[in-house]
Amino acid sequence: MWSGTCIAAGSLDREDSLPTTPFHLGWFLGNSFGVHGWNQPWGGRDGADWAQPDLHIDLARALERACFDYLLLEDSLFVPDNWGGSMDFYLSRALRAPKNDPLPLVPLLTQATSHLGIVPTISTSFYPPYLLARLIATLDLMSDGRVGCNFVTSTAERAAQNFGLDHHMEHDTRYEMADEFVELVTRLWSSWDEDAVVIDRDAGMFVDPAKVRPIDFKGRFFASRGPLNTARPPQGRPVLVQAGGSPQGRAFAAKHMDCVIAAVSTIAEMKEFRADLRRRVTTAGRAPDACKLFFVVQPTLGETNAEALERSRRRQAHREAHPELALAQMGTLTDIDFSAFDIDAPIGELTTNGQQGTLKRFLAQGRTLREIAHNYRYGYEDLVGTPEHVAGAMVEVMQEIGGDGFMFSGPVTRRHVAEITDGVVPALQRLGAVRTAYEHRQFRDNLMAF
Ligand SMILES: Cc1cc2nc3c(=O)[nH]c(=O)nc-3n(C[C@H](O)[C@H](O)[C@H](O)COP(=O)(O)O)c2cc1C
């Protein structure tokens, strides 16, 4: 629960508390326009350029300057009507729509950078696996190994209806599909050997046919003969990411993923998540460090700690004055219309076919919806202060949880981005907590470098 105080940077000037292993950094970009702060101070041109890629390009360049591992582009496939059964709340605030498809952004962002990993989101419930395998392979080839993929099962009933279903598939079935989906696309990426493209002018051979073969995949949900009609991606298998927090989501991650992102708001939850995920990864027969875990954080910065605290207080006051914002947002993640409940009555147990991990955390924040809306955090927010103070606190948190990285999020104003990339990250670098230069050229190599 929010305490209203900065977390102490403590004893970081003591030699023995300095980090020995650096941690990783990512940025979680809420991809709908409403989160870009268009009507906030520092919101830029009041949204006039919302459809243009310039803000994303500036963001990617800033992240690369700060040696981030990757930028994740969130996505969803519906216009919500989870507040009062209407789309009005969301459309008028540009929450979740308009939202351009993130995939065309990928080559623009890789062209504007040279090392940053770019991770678009795709739905394992609605994307045809062959098309996805080809699309991601193409992007990885064009960027020389800097692309990943955030696999989501898509949780909204309205998304399912956009693809012709009356009702969405059941939560656990979606994960069974996702499991098969990833297995299939991975096999398609392997349908060409690494050295299949020979380009031998003298022999008149571009591709060695002996090094390309069908996969003849027949599963419960998908089938594909293969081979892929483009070459093996430079990373072999582009970086695989996912964020589902339910037991099924964690099992899916443990089996396949290179990186998991978690939006939890206390150190205790981070420790639990990390211990559980590493146990699951080991049980799946993989080394625990093969699957990185990044926690979503949203710091509040200021010139002084007092100024940052004041900004944080204002943010909390806004939250308390407008509980409908958190409730309507949660409605889109859980397919529950919270406007239908008494905001001051005990809420009790609820179930969802949407994001189960997220709903469970949400309901644990209080007795009534008003309490929950006041207390709920999408990620860890107890990072309030000057860049130096926040950097020190991040190092302490990471030492407490043991690894592997943080995903920054929050409003995508150029001001907020600069506070992180030109304020917090240089302070982290001075502490030796994050890299000061990329170790490798390709995305996975950097992610696995420590
Ligand atoms: C930090 C975070 C980011 C996510 N990003 C997306 C996204 O971009 N698109 C989406 O459809 N789902 C997204 N999800 C949803 C999950 O990937 C997952 O499908 C959902 O949480 C259901 O899983 P669960 O029931 O295992 O929690 C995100 C979840 C979290 C916690």
Which ligand 1 atom sits closest to the C-alpha of 77?
11
- Cα separation, 107 vs 62, in Å, equals 17
Residue with CA at minimum distance from ligand 1 atom 3: 243
By DSSP bridging, strand 205-207 and strand 197-200 are antiparallel
Cα(85) to centroid(ligand 1), Å: 22
Among the listed ranges 89-103, 110-124, 381-395, which one has the minimum average pLDDT value?
89-103
Average pLDDT over residues 36-54: 81
Among the listed ranges 110-119, 136-145, 360-369, which one has the minimum average pLDDT value?
360-369
Which ligand 1 atom sits closest to the C-alpha of 252?
26
Q: What is the mean pLDDT of the chain?
A: 93
Which ligand 1 atom sits closest to the C-alpha of 75?
8
296 three-state secondary structure: strand
Which ligand 1 atom sits closest to the C-alpha of 247?
26
Among the listed ranges 2-11, 278-287, 334-343, 366-375, which one has the minimum average pLDDT value?
2-11
Cα(447) to centroid(ligand 1), Å: 21
| Local structure of residue 339 (DSSP, 8 states) | G
Cα(357) to centroid(ligand 1), Å: 9
Is there a contact between 175 and 252 (Cβ–Cβ < 8 Å)? yes
- Cα separation, 168 vs 153, in Å, equals 10
Return the structure tokens found at 137.
């392979």
The pTM (predicted TM-score) of the whole model is 0.94
Which ligand 1 atom sits closest to the C-alpha of 174?
19
Residue with CA at minimum distance from ligand 1 atom 18: 244
pLDDT score for 412: 85
Q: What is the pLDDT of residues 171-199, one digit of tens each?
A: 999 999 999 999 999 999 999 999 999 99
Work out the burial of residue 104: count CB atoms within 10 Å of its CB; fewer than 13 is exposed, 13-18 middle, 19 or more buried.
exposed
For the cut 70, the answer to whether the pLDDT of residue 4 exceeds it is no
Counting ligand 1 atoms within 8 A of each CB, the residue from 29, 73, 74 with the most, and so the one to mutate, is 74
Residue 438: what residue type? Y
Residue 354: what residue type? G
Counting ligand 1 atoms within 8 A of each CB, the residue from 77, 153, 350, 353 with the most, and so the one to mutate, is 153
Q: What is the DSSP string of 49-71?
A: TTTSSHHHHHHHHHHHHTT-SEE
H helix or E strand, kind and range, residue 29: strand 24-29
| Reported confidence tier of residue 41, pLDDT bands at 50, 70, 90 | confident
| Reported confidence tier of residue 6, pLDDT bands at 50, 70, 90 | very low
| Local structure of residue 225 (DSSP, 8 states) | -
Helical H segments across 223-366, by residue range: 247-256, 267-283, 305-321, 323-334, 356-363
Q: Is the peptide bond before 227 cis (omega within 30 degrees of 0)?
A: yes
Which ligand 1 atom sits closest to the C-alpha of 358?
27
In this structure, what are the phi and psi dihedrals at residue 62, rounded to the nearest 5 degrees? Answer: -65, -40
pLDDT score for 18: 60
Work out the burial of residue 268: count CB atoms within 10 Å of its CB; fewer than 13 is exposed, 13-18 middle, 19 or more buried.
exposed
C-alpha separations of 74 from 92, 130, 243, 352 in Å: 20, 21, 11, 21
In this structure, what are the phi and psi dihedrals at residue 296, rounded to the nearest 5 degrees? Answer: -70, 130
Which ligand 1 atom sits closest to the C-alpha of 31?
8
Residue with CA at minimum distance from ligand 1 atom 2: 243
Residue with CA at minimum distance from ligand 1 atom 4: 243
C-alpha separations of 161 from 128, 174, 343, 415, 429 in Å: 17, 15, 29, 38, 47
Residue with CA at minimum distance from ligand 1 atom 22: 355
For the cut 70, the answer to whether the pLDDT of residue 19 exceeds it is no
pLDDT score for 37: 73
- Cα separation, 182 vs 170, in Å, equals 18
Residue with CA at minimum distance from ligand 1 atom 13: 152
Pocket of ligand 1, beta carbon within 6 A: 74-76, 121, 152-155, 171, 242-246, 248-249, 261, 263, 296, 355-358
Is there a contact between 73 and 119 (Cβ–Cβ < 8 Å)? yes
| Reported confidence tier of residue 17, pLDDT bands at 50, 70, 90 | low
| Reported confidence tier of residue 43, pLDDT bands at 50, 70, 90 | confident
Identify which of 26, 24, 31 has the alpha carbon closest to the alpha carbon of residue 412: 31
Counting ligand 1 atoms within 8 A of each CB, the residue from 259, 355, 363 with the most, and so the one to mutate, is 355
pLDDT score for 411: 85
Return the structure tokens found at 159.
């998304």
Is there a contact between 185 and 217 (Cβ–Cβ < 8 Å)? no
| Reported confidence tier of residue 15, pLDDT bands at 50, 70, 90 | very low
In this structure, what are the phi and psi dihedrals at residue 374, rounded to the nearest 5 degrees? Answer: -70, -40
For the cut 90, the answer to whether the pLDDT of residue 275 exceeds it is yes
Residues with Cβ within 8 Å of residue 131, at least 6 apart in sequence: none
Which ligand 1 atom sits closest to the C-alpha of 123?
11
Is there a contact between 71 and 26 (Cβ–Cβ < 8 Å)? yes
User: Of residues 353 and 7, which shows the higher confidence score?
Assistant: 353
Cα(174) to centroid(ligand 1), Å: 12
By DSSP bridging, strand 405-408 and strand 384-385 are unpaired
Return the structure tokens found at 48.
């006039």
pLDDT score for 407: 98
Q: What is the pLDDT of residues 204-243, one digit of tens each?
A: 999 999 999 999 999 999 999 999 999 999 999 999 999 9
C-alpha separations of 374 from 122, 325, 360, 378, 385 in Å: 31, 10, 16, 12, 21
pLDDT score for 97: 92
Cα(94) to centroid(ligand 1), Å: 20
Average pLDDT over residues 426-444: 97
